[in-house]
């Protein structure tokens, strides 16, 4: 079977061994690319990819995902390769999991289970763990009835990790009760985050939210700019929990950079719902910094997935800077473009090339959202002068006999708060 060089990308020393299965309803090459990404997810989860199977169908079979003839071929391949099981590239119904498991007589998991499993392994904060558990419970709760032997075959390993997996099949009522408890805890944490956000807004420090497809280099950039010491690996979802750090722009102004969970094609809706409160940090940011992997051949699809996810989260109408990362891995970075972004920058978070330009672009974009103030403050308001210096881009600050002469770009809200903006300047 032609593997199209997919297998060259994976470690073959790991214990769980899987065959990847996809249904091509339109473009076979697109399905192969999706299976390559699925293989990277398996690698991240700690498994080994043995082979892949693609079947061309108008639509996935409602009862078995793939046709029964293809399922018989797949069963022979499972036996031949001594596979742990198969992973399907789409979210399966309970009936599809049960029937396919019966036909193959092995473990069957889908893309959603796999992603949930990776999130469970990588969540480190209390809120992250609660959010993952709630997403797992919602997914499995809808699949308890009729799973039967298919669930029992899952056993241990990939697809079964994370809090809340024990005895899920015994009582849906208990699961719903647990979901209610988790929601209460997550809501309480959200209130704490809202309080923290309001304090930041009161200090008028600009917030820049970093978004992007998983493994685009968001954490690498945050580490480069802020010494955040976040785990940064060449794996999907290497980091999960959001991080906020201070960063200085060329003018000396401080901003807050907030890293968010990476997006991915076919991201489970339960995960979007569970992490909505965390991702809302982007909704309250002044600016969206979109990091894209220049070296990925599917970069156009990745851009579309990010914008679609932002739309699904109702994060719209904010200025976007797209930074094409990893230009050290491509020959023609100049051709990269994003028509949905206000500005495009080409850079490498690994080598530092173009990062200074990125900071300048962030500064310029923030300034375009501000007003220029030229005022004189009495010496009794030296504290306000310092607030202006930290909360905007200072052009000049001179101490004269009649007071502190200040010229700076500052947010309108800060200018109104300090009473240094004339009404004519508010339009």
Q: Does 15 have pLDDT greater than 90? A: no
Architecture of the 1-190 domain: 3-Layer(aba) Sandwich (3.40)
Q: For 354-368, what is the HEC assignment?
A: CHHHHHHHHHHHHHH
Q: Give exposure, 366-390, as e/b (b: 16+ Cβ within 10 Å).
A: bbeebbebebebeeebeebbebbbe
Residue 117 and residue 163: Cα distance in Å, rounded? 10
Contact criterion met (CB below 8 Å) for 232 and 279: no
Least confident of 45-54, 61-70, 228-237: 228-237
Domain-wise residue ranges, the chain: 1-190, 205-367, 370-426
pLDDT at 350: 92
Q: What percent of the chain has pLDDT over 70?
A: 81
d(CA 207, CA 257): 6
Fold for 370-426, please state it: Alpha-Beta Plaits (3.30.70)
Q: According to the per-residue pLDDT averaged within each range, which of 160-174, 188-202, 231-245, 393-407 is highest?
A: 393-407
Contacts of 233 (CB under 8 A, 6+ apart): none
CA distance linking residue 236 with residue 22, whole number of Å: 19
Return the pLDDT at 72.
95
Which pLDDT score, from 0 to 100, does residue 116 have?
86
What is the Cα–Cα distance from 425 to 230, expressed in whole angstroms? 42
Give residue-wise pLDDT tens across range 68-125.
999 999 999 999 999 999 999 999 998 999 999 999 999 999 999 898 888 888 777 7
| Model pLDDT, residue 101 | 92
Q: State residue 316's pLDDT score.
A: 85
The answer to whether residue 321 scores a pLDDT higher than 80 is yes
Of 37-46, 80-89, 145-154, 312-321, the least confident? 145-154
Q: CA-CA distance, 375 to 387, in Å (whole number)?
A: 14
3 state SS of 172: helix
> What integer pLDDT is reported at residue 77 of this predicted model?
96
What pLDDT was estimated at residue 168? 46
User: Which pLDDT score, from 0 to 100, does residue 260 have?
Assistant: 78
**Closest C-alpha among 98, 104, 103, 186 to residue 138:** 186
Please tell me the pTM assigned to this model.
0.76
Q: Which of 398, 425, 248, 400 is nearest to 410 (CA)?
A: 425
Do the two domains 1-190 and 205-367 of this chain adopt the same fold? Answer: yes
- 184-213 pLDDT per residue, tens: 988 888 788 777 766 666 566 888 999 999
Give the residue, 146 or 387, on which the prediction is more confident.
387
Q: What is the mean pLDDT of residues 239-254?
A: 80
Of 425 and 10, the one with more pLDDT: 425
Does the pLDDT value for residue 4 go beyond 50? no
| Residues 315-325, mean pLDDT to the nearest whole number | 92
**How large is the average pLDDT for residues 4-32?**
71
Residue 165 scores a pLDDT above 60? no
Q: What residues contact 268, with CB distance under 8 A and at least 6 apart?
A: 91, 112, 115, 116, 135, 139
Confidence band of 1 (pLDDT split at 50, 70, 90): very low
Flag the least confident range among 3-7, 166-170, 286-290: 3-7
Residues contacting residue 318 through CB under 8 Å, at least 6 positions apart:
285, 286, 287, 288
Evaluate if residue 216 carries a pLDDT over 70: yes
Topology given in CATH for the domain delimited by 205-367: Rossmann fold (3.40.50)
The DSSP code for 187 is: H
Q: Determine the pLDDT at residue 141.
A: 77
Q: What is the mean predicted confidence (pLDDT) over 18-35?
A: 92
CA 54, CA 23: separation in Å to the nearest integer? Answer: 6
Closest listed residue to residue 269, CA positions, set 312, 310, 304: 312
Say how many residues make up the chain: 427
> How many C-beta atoms lie closer than 10 Å to residue 10's C-beta?
17
DSSP string, 73-120: HHHHHHHHHT-SEEEESSPPPHHHHHHHHHHHTSEEEEHHHHHHHHHH
- Read off the pLDDT band of 160 (50, 70, 90): low
Select the highest-mean-pLDDT range: 8-12, 179-183, 277-281: 179-183
Residue 427, pLDDT score: 43
Mean pLDDT of 131-158: 66
Q: How confident is the model at residue 73, as a pLDDT?
A: 95
Cβ(384)–Cβ(414) under 8 Å?
Answer: no
- Please, are residues 123 and 169 in contact by the beta-carbon 8 Å criterion? no
Locate 186 and state its tokens. 């997550």
Average of per-residue pLDDT values in the chain: 82
């Amino acid at each position: 079977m032609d593997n199209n060089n997919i297998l060259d990308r994976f470690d073959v020393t790991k214990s769980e061994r899987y065959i990847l299965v996809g249904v091509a309803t339109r473009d076979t090459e697109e399905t192969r690319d999706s299976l390559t990404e699925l293989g990277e997810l398996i690698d991240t989860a700690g498994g080994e990819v043995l082979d892949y199977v693609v079947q061309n169908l108008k639509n996935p079979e409602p009862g078995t995902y793939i046709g029964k003839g293809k399922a018989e071929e797949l069963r022979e391949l499972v036996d031949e390769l001594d596979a742990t099981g198969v992973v399907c590239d789409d979210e399966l119904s309970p009936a599809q999991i049960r029937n396919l498991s019966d036909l193959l007589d092995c473990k069957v998991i889908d893309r959603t289970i796999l992603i949930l499993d990776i999130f469970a392994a990588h969540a480190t904060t209390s809120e992250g763990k609660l959010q993952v558990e709630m997403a797992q419970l919602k997914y499995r709760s809808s699949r308890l009835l009729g799973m039967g032997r298919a669930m029992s075959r899952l056993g241990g390993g990939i697809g079964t990790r994370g809090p809340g997996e024990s005895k899920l099949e015994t009582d849906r009522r208990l699961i719903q009760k647990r979901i209610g408890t988790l929601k209460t805890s997550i809501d309480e944490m959200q209130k704490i985050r809202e309080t923290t956000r309001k304090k930041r807004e009161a200090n008028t420090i600009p917030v820049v939210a970093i978004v992007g497809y998983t493994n685009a280099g968001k954490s690498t950039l945050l580490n480069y700019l802020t010494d955040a010491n976040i785990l940064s690996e060449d794996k999907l979802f290497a980091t999960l929990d959001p991080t906020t750090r201070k960063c200085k722009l060329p003018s000396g102004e401080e901003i807050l950079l907030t890293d968010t969970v990476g997006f991915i094609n076919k991201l489970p809706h339960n995960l979007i719902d569970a992490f909505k409160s965390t991702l809302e940090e982007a909704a309250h940011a002044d600016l969206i910094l979109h990091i894209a992997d220049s070296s990925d051949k599917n970069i156009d699809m990745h851009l579309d997935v990010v914008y679609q996810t932002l739309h699904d989260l109702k994060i719209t109408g904010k200025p976007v800077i797209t930074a094409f990362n990893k230009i050290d891995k491509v020959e023609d970075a100049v051709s990269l473009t994003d028509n949905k972004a206000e500005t495009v920058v080409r850079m490498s978070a690994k080598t530092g090339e173009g990062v200074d330009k990125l900071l300048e672009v962030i500064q310029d974009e923030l300034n375009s959202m501000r007003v220029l103030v030229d005022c004189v403050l009495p010496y009794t308001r030296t504290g306000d002068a310092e607030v202006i210096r930290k909360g905007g881009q200072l052009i000049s600050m001179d101490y004269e006999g009649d007071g502190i002469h200040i010229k700076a770009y500052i947010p309108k809200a800060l200018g109104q708060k300090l009473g240094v903006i004339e009404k004519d300047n508010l339009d």
